[in-house]
Amino acid sequence: MSEIFQKAQTAELALESLTNEEYNGLLPFIEEIKAVQRQIDALLIQFDVADKCKNCLIGCCTPGIEEFLTEYYFFFLFYQLSEEAKYDIWRILQKNNSTEFCRFLAKNGCIIPTDARPYVCKSFLCRRFGPVQKLGDAYNEKFDNAIYNFEMKLSGMGYRLF
């Protein structure tokens, strides 16, 4: 079993062990992260970056990026996905990645919903888009804080995932 699969499995087991109260208590932290992600998305749309990224072959979405996907990220992802969407993620995780790109990168871009993408992906703002990178630094600080708050909430609940 791959390391990324094990991380996802650890997160799924932790998520399944939550009480309803704990589960619902995480929603404000999830929403904080998603709000920053939507701000980053708006910035990318403002500068017409989305299509350029989707068709880029420089390698931001390289297989090595997967090592930065943590148990916390998979917890965040699985928290918000439907069972059908989770199934698609698990199907991809079970396969060996034999491409030169991230396993989640498909022909039409990333298969992970936009507001559920990994921190490492969302916080990367390509140097090819100078104005975006400069403006994005402020969002990255907000993003760092939102992720930290989420991880501290989970840790405070006794879920130390790594």
Model confidence over 88-140: pLDDT tens digits? 999 999 988 877 788 888 887 788 888 788 877 776 666 666 666 666 677 77
Q: How many CB atoms lie within 10 A of CB 84?
A: 7
- pTM here is 0.82
What's the pLDDT score for residue 89? Answer: 92
Number of C-alpha atoms within 13 angstroms, CB side, residue 55?
Answer: 4
Adjacent-strand bridge partners of 105: 110
The mean predicted confidence, pLDDT, of the chain is 81
Alpha helix ranges (H) inside the chain: 3-16, 20-25, 27-46, 50-54, 71-80, 83-94, 119-122, 130-156
Q: What is the pLDDT of residues 17-66, one digit of tens each?
A: 999 999 999 999 999 988 888 887 887 777 777 666 666 656 577 767 78
SS3 54: helix
In b/e form, how buried is each residue of 85-107, taking b as 16+ CB within 10 angstroms? bbeebeebbeeebeeeebbbbee
| Alpha-carbon distance values, 111 to 21, 43, 104, 118 (Å) | 30, 20, 6, 12
**Tokens found for residue 16:** 């399944």
